[in-house]
Structure 1
């Protein structure tokens, strides 16, 4: 299987890359490093990425950002960070990437617990995550060629615990093997339009 992982050098992406690289051909794309450089904010950059990869069997995205700040100080431009990057970046990966997927291939997007259980300073991020969930459920009804689209929604993962623990009081860190299994389920399973929630 030929798997493209966008954000494959990040906290979650590197763990997924290490797992799938054992038995599959994995291409890593990233904004600053990887086999291919891509900025998912720019649809032209996404097009150029796929022209380099050619046909693939699975597309995984663990990239995308959104502004974390108190609601009272968030500006319109602050909201556009998440809308252009994490939301439309992933939407465009589906919109463009479907043409580069082999029949029966899969696309796995990434969000997080904020869509269902937001914490302070996450108004923008929670909104974006929720939008992706709705998009995945809707696009699964129409996407063709046997392609499946799912989203993995994670709680605070173990490898990011020290960085984010103050934002998530009382939350249980998600073991990295559970993180990997969520992506395995999306890529190798038969589910389509599913929000794969791993929150505990």
Structure 2
């Protein structure tokens, strides 16, 4: 398969790229590096990316910006970042990308465990992740067999927790996290939220 991975330079993205490139043609896109560059917060940039890459069999997004902060701390702009980037950026990958995907192709997005397991300071991320999961369930009903769409819900990645000086209990290494993305790409499910802990 010809697979476009957006966010390929991130911790999860690198692991997904490494796992898939052995058996698939992988094209990478990031904000400032990779085979192509894209601003997930810009519809024009997403459209330009697909125009440059051309037809693909699958799209994976392992990226999306949103801000940590409490209900009292977050400004309108802080909320808008997550809504414009992690939410609508990934929604637009489906809206725009479906014209470039082969019949029966797939799009795999990234939400996160904070949708079901919020913590103090996660209100923006929990909101965006929950909305993405709702989008995937609803979009799959409309797309039918023409295009599969799923989202992977990662827990904290071990490497990220270590880099932040946090404990690693309840985390998963990026290499194991990547298994869920591979399952989404190579399987036949649609409208699903793939909990990475089910693919270890």
In structure 2, the residue matched to 1:19 is 19
Q: SS of 2:109's equivalent?
A: strand
In structure 2, the residue matched to 1:176 is 174
In structure 2, the residue matched to 1:94 is 94
Inter-partner Cα distance in structure 2 for 1:198 and 1:47: 29
- The CA deviation at 1:51 is 0.4
CA separation of 1:170 and 1:7: change in aligned 2, threshold 3 A:
closer
Partners of 2:3 and 2:24 within 8 A in 1: yes
- The CA deviation at 1:77 is 1.3
In structure 1, the residue matched to 2:184 is 186
Give CA deviations for 1:42-93 in whole Å, capped at 9, x if unaligned.
Answer: 0000000000110000000011110111221111111000000000000000
Q: Which region of structure 1 is more displaced relative to structure 2, 61-70 or 133-142?
A: 61-70
Inter-partner Cα distance in structure 2 for 1:170 and 1:48: 39
How many residue pairs align between the two structures? 198
**4+ runs deviating over 4 angstroms:** none
Partners of 2:158 and 2:168 within 8 A in 1: no
In structure 2, the residue matched to 1:55 is 55
Q: SS of 2:149's equivalent?
A: strand
Q: SS of 2:72's equivalent?
A: helix
Which consecutive unaligned segments of at least 5 residues does structure 2 have? none
Inter-partner Cα distance in structure 2 for 1:84 and 1:142: 23
1:150 is aligned to 2:150: yes
In structure 1, the residue matched to 2:44 is 44
- The CA deviation at 1:175 is 3.0
Inter-partner Cα distance in structure 1 for 2:189 and 2:140: 10
TM-score normalised by structure 2 residue count: 0.94
Inter-partner Cα distance in structure 2 for 1:4 and 1:76: 32
TM-score normalised by structure 1 residue count: 0.94
Counterparts of 1:68-107 in structure 2, within 5 Å, are 68-107=68-107
In structure 2, the residue matched to 1:33 is 33
Inter-partner Cα distance in structure 1 for 2:138 and 2:122: 24
Partners of 1:151 and 1:195 within 8 A in 2: yes
CA separation of 1:49 and 1:170: change in aligned 2, threshold 3 A:
closer
- The CA deviation at 1:177 is 3.5
Partners of 1:30 and 1:37 within 8 A in 2: yes
